[in-house]
Structure 1
């Protein structure tokens, strides 16, 4: 044993290996696009960015289990352990050995014809009158002179089993390691326990040194396959197991506990082992009072557990409770890094650990890659970079919807006299646009590299040429008026409205940088918002749809850009029910007051006089709203679009692009097909 101990000590102090937790090491990095889309949608619905991220991690994504699913599986495993097992396995095994020993002894007494009748009668009487209690019967036979060698072996096995089980409770794996226990093994165990207790008591007094631990492990390291590196790690390991053993005893009935207490004196044939273990438990409880020493569980199954197995199951239950809390992420300062992937793999398997690891990497990537940041108050929010990424995703979705509705025709208004759009396309016969030299040369190099046989040919071929696109464009002043009244939230239009605003904002900032967009939200009153404010806006119960105030702000925006083409886009699901008085106070009335209507109409006519191209996006089927919007559009020579919620973004973008086409061509277009705007579509290359 000493030789094995020395070997183990060398291994534990010079090399420590752990299972790789990262799943497939060749797997691609986590894709943030889906996560960002889901998180962004939650933010637009009124969630904080922190909560939105937590919700995504809880629910998971495409083909990926979330924390809720992992937590459910943890709960199911915990319930299965309790419903499958019972804790009297050691008592049942001892009773079987005792019954077999007594039966074999009775057979031997009946076969032994040379035995004195008086001795036979005394022995049979003693066996017949054994106490009903297993522990009392075992103690009663302590000095019995066995005549059957098989019976004697079974009785001795009871003592060895008790010793192995008691040790297995505190040191996992000892039951199997000491299956063929010898006197030398018992002596080694006793010496280890005595030295261990001395070390722990010395540590409790603050008198131990690192050398004391080194000496102990050099001598007894074979008993500790976990390979603790210092006395605190040793205590942590032992305390968890010892606390689990105590919880197992707490979970037993009073009769079962009493039986084990009385039987423990017979472990390895003397009470010394039980005394050493009691001393160990006392030291560990004093050193680690934070462990759960008083808990208990209710087992309702029919599969018996031995003392060591039971302690292992109680430890599993404690691990599952820890995992359940970690996976809930409901405590202050919770992070995915808190999840113990080793425990998760042991309890649920490697796939569960890989799912949790992927979610952890996703959280890290969201924080690390500039997607989320904390503001001055410490709240988590989407960064401008994240908003751009989210807006790009929305534009792609809008482009698909427009292409499906209108076909795949690309419309380009390119000319040598126009502004460079930043996009390129393959040269076609008759093109007069300037060559894009870097792209053209790069195409030639790529072609020659891909076709070695043509390496000696021309550097530039006809198919390599790309020309720089230009756009005949004028500047536009765009005002998007978004209804933020509570009815938008009630009828499921809140998120589509925000997604539309973000898509339009992204399109203008990325493809039409010369245009000036102003976002105006209007409920009981109106206000100019930046895109971060609008997307994070929470719905509030405040009566009023103040289109008049919104139009005042829009017209002010148009007047600030006298040389730009005004474009007015109004998204609403209700008639105007409030207006702004001259003193700045808001007046509300439902049904709409004639004064509110008059004020609103006056500002719409002002927009028309400023040359604005006006489009109403009417949401819902309210007949009175339809009549009002239709009459207003007719009055100001505007248009009315009545899209479904999911089509709102495509309708607004289509209208904006159509207004720009009117500016470029001198007339008002219907929008046409704009899904291929530029070489890279709405979102560029």
Structure 2
């Protein structure tokens, strides 16, 4: 056995040890699913504890509840006795969503971040990529490039460095971006036994937290749309619920464009998360609704707005959480009219696609 190696017994980390932090992660997930209902989340947590033994004799559920209050995650109304989550909990939920979704992106291998619109920028980022024509010499990371050459060619006397060995630090432009995120809250987002609204909420919270931390000069407005459309704040996201609504995509797009007209930034974009077709319009005080097939009256109005957004240089990226062929045909037509982009995503891949598209689009100069 080589003398340079030393071996010792492997002791696995006690990641599953019961305690406040491990229970807090589960509790935050349950708060998102229950739309901020503390009592329901605690009931679910107690049921999970009964089935899977999350607590121990040393640290029980009562201890966890006391720690939640002591650490400022919960507040209790003195009059009604109602328990609510605090601002600290709301921020923790956003950070948890960011770690859950964006953390997976950071684990990807080389080349997983497709950024065809990046290039010479103003400030260095943390991403690395292969050298491309036009990159500045100061972007080259010599230590990493030499390591690549050693791995690719060996350490012989004829050691050499090629263009393919060079690794550079990605740069990002300082241009600001204004994004409107549209979230479908029609009834279909919880139909067929599939919870689609919770992943959409998590993506919205994670995107908001990312922008706050990494791109503080960017703006993010959030819109929900059902029979109507209205703006919500990031603070409202944990409490967001699906309603008995149809899908008024037109109202959402009109509100999104109104918000972006007021933004004085060069890069403007709309992200739309939906699982279905537009089925509703508002005509005066009445609603025009048709859930059967693709109603041409509704579709034509939606396509008119897609063309209007294109004239305003506002690309629309549609994240369709559905795989019906006729819905894909509609989305393809909508995307062609707007000259935007469309993704047909599973719930698991939604966060990955939103983050990559956001990073790519904000690097464009208009």
Same fold per TM (> 0.5)? yes
**Counterpart secondary structure, 2:247:** coil
Q: Is the 8 A contact 1:44 1:536 kept in 2?
A: no
**Counterpart secondary structure, 1:620:** coil
| CA-to-aligned-CA distance 1:565-619 (integer Å, 9 cap, x gap) | 11111111111000122x3543212334322222212222222222122211111
**TM-score of the pair, normalised by structure 2:** 0.73
**Counterpart secondary structure, 1:60:** helix
1:353 to 35, 45, 57: 57
Partner in structure 2 of residue 35 of structure 1: 24
Partner in structure 2 of residue 561 of structure 1: 263
2:333 to 631, 639, 642: 631
**Counterpart secondary structure, 1:497:** helix
Residues 242-391 of structure 1: pairs in structure 2 closer than 5 A: 353-356=57-60, 359-374=61-76, 379-391=82-94
| CA-to-aligned-CA distance 1:134-173 (integer Å, 9 cap, x gap) | xxxxxxxxxxxxxxxxxxxxxxxxxxxxxxxxxxxxxxxx
Partner in structure 2 of residue 334 of structure 1: none
- CA drift of 1:44 comes to 3.1
The Cα RMSD (Å) is 3.6
**Which protein has the bigger helix share?**
1
Residues 583-602 of structure 1: pairs in structure 2 closer than 5 A: 583-591=284-292, 592-602=294-304
Partner in structure 1 of residue 349 of structure 2: 647
Partner in structure 2 of residue 111 of structure 1: none
2:182 to 465, 470, 481: 481
CA separation of 1:387/1:42 partners in 2, compared to 1, >3 Å: closer, same or farther? closer
- CA drift of 1:62 comes to 11
- CA drift of 1:546 comes to 0.6
Give unpaired runs (5+ residues) of structure 2: 1-16, 129-135, 140-169
CA separation of 1:408/1:634 partners in 2, compared to 1, >3 Å: closer, same or farther? closer
Residues 194-593 of structure 1: pairs in structure 2 closer than 5 A: 353-356=57-60, 359-374=61-76, 379-403=82-106, 407=110, 418=122, 431=138, 471-490=172-191, 491-542=194-245, 544-581=246-283, 583-591=284-292, 592-593=294-295
Q: Distance in 2 between matches of 1:535 and 1:418?
A: 35
Q: Distance in 1 between matches of 2:66 and 2:122?
A: 45
CA separation of 1:564/1:361 partners in 2, compared to 1, >3 Å: closer, same or farther? farther
Q: Distance in 2 between matches of 1:546 and 1:485?
A: 9
Larger radius of gyration between Structure 1 and Structure 2: 1
Partner in structure 2 of residue 60 of structure 1: 49
**Counterpart secondary structure, 1:556:** helix
Q: Distance in 1 between matches of 2:260 and 2:186?
A: 24
Q: Distance in 1 between matches of 2:59 and 2:68?
A: 17
**Counterpart secondary structure, 1:521:** strand
**Counterpart secondary structure, 1:398:** helix
Query: Does 1:616 pair with 2:318?
Result: yes
**Counterpart secondary structure, 1:570:** strand
CA separation of 1:419/1:642 partners in 2, compared to 1, >3 Å: closer, same or farther? same
**TM-score of the pair, normalised by structure 1:** 0.41
Partner in structure 1 of residue 358 of structure 2: 656
**Which protein has the bigger strand share?**
2
Q: Distance in 2 between matches of 1:38 and 1:531?
A: 20
**Counterpart secondary structure, 2:313:** coil
- CA drift of 1:431 comes to 4.8
Q: Distance in 1 between matches of 2:272 and 2:343?
A: 10
Partner in structure 2 of residue 99 of structure 1: none
Q: Distance in 1 between matches of 2:50 and 2:107?
A: 26
**Counterpart secondary structure, 1:575:** coil
